[in-house]
Amino acid sequence: MSSEQHRVCILAEGSFNIHSAKTAVGVIRYSPHQVVAVIDSTNAGKTVQQVLGFGGDTPIVAGIADAMTHEPDVLLIGIAPSGGQLPTEWRAIVNDAIEARLDVWSGLHFFLSDDSEFAALADIKGVKLWDVRRPRPDLVVGGGRALQTRALVVLAVGSDCNVGKMTTSLELQKKASERGYKAGFVATGQTGILIEGRGTPLDAVPGDFMPGEVERLVMELDAEDCDVIFVEGQGAIVHPAYGPVTLGLMLGSMPDVFVLCHQPTRASFRPEAAIPLPELPLVVRQYEDLMSYYKAPKVACVALNTYDLSPEQAAKREQEIEALLGLPTVDPIRNGNEKLWQAIEPLVKKKLGR
């Protein structure tokens, strides 16, 4: 699925903006497919650039009929409905898309392919419904196989969930590719999977099988002769809800090195906000100690998410954290990914014996 180039129309009805449409924004920024239109009737007539500040001339349209003039072959659902149910208006849009013979890719909790009307219509029209949050049926348990990769395995870890682990991994993959390395990305959340075209929806996988799923994906990329594999992290190791998913990534990917992701203004674990975040030196020590029995990975650099700070504040926090941890520190979206890559590239060369 990842090798085929598609023409994608993104459904973001009523909420196409940088805060509410995380999946849509991620796909526009990083997908190898061509985004040919965005559906949001409340912004119809504008371009993606006008709304997001990036994304070029891609048009925003009112519905499937308008979108079809841009010849998509896929409808990608780029927002989540509040309450988890599919709103009636969206049902009509999905229905129109299938009628127009578009495949539909969905990151919703609600599975399109379990809906008898959608499934029957898709069958008649010969299109595919891809529910990326559905774990594959043939899960296996982990066995530490990722200890054997030829590629350097880089795992993004964090001080909390939702601090920029996917973005950091994709920025590093982009940079590594530009520099001539074969760079893979292991997607572990719905946005990453929709961008990459494969992956595992780790938060929906039963606990026993999380490391095995990550291991399978890492070994797939290693078999494709990647030089470096960037693994999308999730959660944080002592996060009261998501720590186990984080450990599933660590034990499944058996990283050679960590990139630590952090939002300087974050004070407490999301979503509960009842428990303050541990100090960063403890966070670094816990990640490193826990994997000391395997490849003894170290944190090589720190990626900050400073979207809610002024440029001056962001620069100050970069300097402070760099001094505190003694590690290269930068916000890759604000100030570029070169500094992070400089911390990783020597490790890739060493692992490959170059």
Residues lying near a copy of itself in the complex (CB under 8 A):
141-144, 202-208, 210-212, 237-245, 247-248, 250-251, 269, 271-272, 274-275, 278, 282, 285-286, 289-294
Closer to a copy of itself at the Cβ: 72 or 189? 189
Closer to a copy of itself at the Cβ: 75 or 163? 163
How would you classify residue 94: left for phi > 0, otherwise alpha for psi between -120 and 50, otherwise beta?
alpha
Closer to a copy of itself at the Cβ: 126 or 137? 137
- Other beta carbons less than 10 A from residue 271's beta carbon: 10
Closer to a copy of itself at the Cβ: 202 or 330? 202
Calculated CA dihedral for residues 65, 67, 69, 75, nearest 10 degrees: -100
Q: How far is the CB of 197 from a copy of itself (least distance, A)?
A: 23
Which amino acid is residue 237, in one-letter code?
Answer: I
Q: How far is the CB of 223 from a copy of itself (least distance, A)?
A: 19
**DSSP 3-state assignment of 332?**
helix
d(CA 122, CA 99): 8
Closer to a copy of itself at the Cβ: 44 or 241? 241
Q: How far is the CB of 277 from a copy of itself (least distance, A)?
A: 10
Q: How far is the CB of 176 from a copy of itself (least distance, A)?
A: 27
Closer to a copy of itself at the Cβ: 172 or 237? 237
**CA quadruple 226, 292, 338, 303: dihedral sign:** positive
Q: How far is the CB of 240 from a copy of itself (least distance, A)?
A: 4
What are the two backbone dihedrals, phi and then psi, of residue 300, each rounded to the nearest 5 degrees? -90, -25
| Closest alpha carbon to 193 in 175, 177, 169 | 169
Bond from prior residue into 271 cis (ω within 30 degrees of 0) = yes
Q: How far is the CB of 265 from a copy of itself (least distance, A)?
A: 20
